[in-house]
Structure 1
């Protein structure tokens, strides 16, 4: 579980006892491309730490159009946090866009450990802070940056993303149409 140790060290120092307790509820899993980790309307029980691959979260509007909320790349946490906390059906779909390897963890068992161990509670809090900051940054980008700037920022954050996932998902994530994305890419090439 060196992968988890390396992940955890980015947030908070944990004792060997805390690691051992967390390892009891972690499972390394491999999922194929197009596998849904969380389906629409499903009550999720797990969160994931992405080791390899790309996961997206999206919703489908009343006209059947997909809207990408988040693109997850290694090493990052994934899962429908709101539905996990509230114990309610997911309004988002979490899907592997590529073959993925993840650490899977039952959220409620992890939460119980955080109540038992202060250091795990601090770790949990720091991970939640990171998720909040990540989501707030995306909202601010959508409000403050134009489409070209958002695309350039995505390229900086995820070099080569154009070769890894469908352009439709990138356009949706940037809140633009595929045609707009094509124009932006054409203008940046010249």
Structure 2
């Protein structure tokens, strides 16, 4: 729980009463490799704090091809935000790519705490702002940068991920084929 409290306080320090109630909302949970935090089509009702491990957010196209939208590497907040906010079925699954250690809270309980503690409401806003900026940055990279540059940015953002994940997950995240990823790696290695 200390890593959770440190993470929270690094984003927005919160008062002791709010911290105590926040801690009571979160319960430990294990996700095994390939387990889902939330599936496509489900109504999301939980938010999580990924303490350790890697979770991917992905969607399927109409032909069943997977596209990795995002990687979450602990420490990180995970959850199907659109489903949580709109109360509509989730469209982007979140699946553990490694064994994961997480803390889970009911989102409705979190919203009640927002009403009670403005520190927590501010924390929620700052987390949402962070993910909005991250999403926009990735969209810009996908639209304006070539695959080589996107690969280098990914390596900088997630330095350990290449040692853990299969090549096809990384290629999907970059919006390229596994063959293209192999060429990029070979080219960078030779230069």
Shorter-chain TM range is over 0.9
1:1-190 paired onto structure 2 within 5 Å: 1-190=1-190
Counterpart CA distance in 1 for 2:84 and 2:118 is 21
Q: Alpha-carbon deviation of 1:160?
A: 3.0
Counterpart CA distance in 1 for 2:160 and 2:87 is 36
Q: Alpha-carbon deviation of 1:37?
A: 0.9
SS at structure 2 position matched to 1:64? coil
- Structure 1 gap segments, 5+ residues each: none
4+ long deviations beyond 3 Å:
none
CA deviation map 1:136-172 (0-9, x unaligned): 1111111221100000011111113222111111111
CA deviation map 1:105-156 (0-9, x unaligned): 1112101110111111111111111111111111111122110000001111
Counterpart CA distance in 2 for 1:133 and 1:72 is 15
Root-mean-square deviation (Å): 1.0
CA deviation map 1:56-106 (0-9, x unaligned): 011111111111111110111111100110111111111000000011111
Counterpart CA distance in 1 for 2:21 and 2:131 is 23
How many residues are aligned here? 190
Counterpart CA distance in 2 for 1:118 and 1:40 is 32
TM-score, normalised by the number of residues in structure 2: 0.96
TM-score, normalised by the number of residues in structure 1: 0.97
Counterpart CA distance in 1 for 2:160 and 2:85 is 34
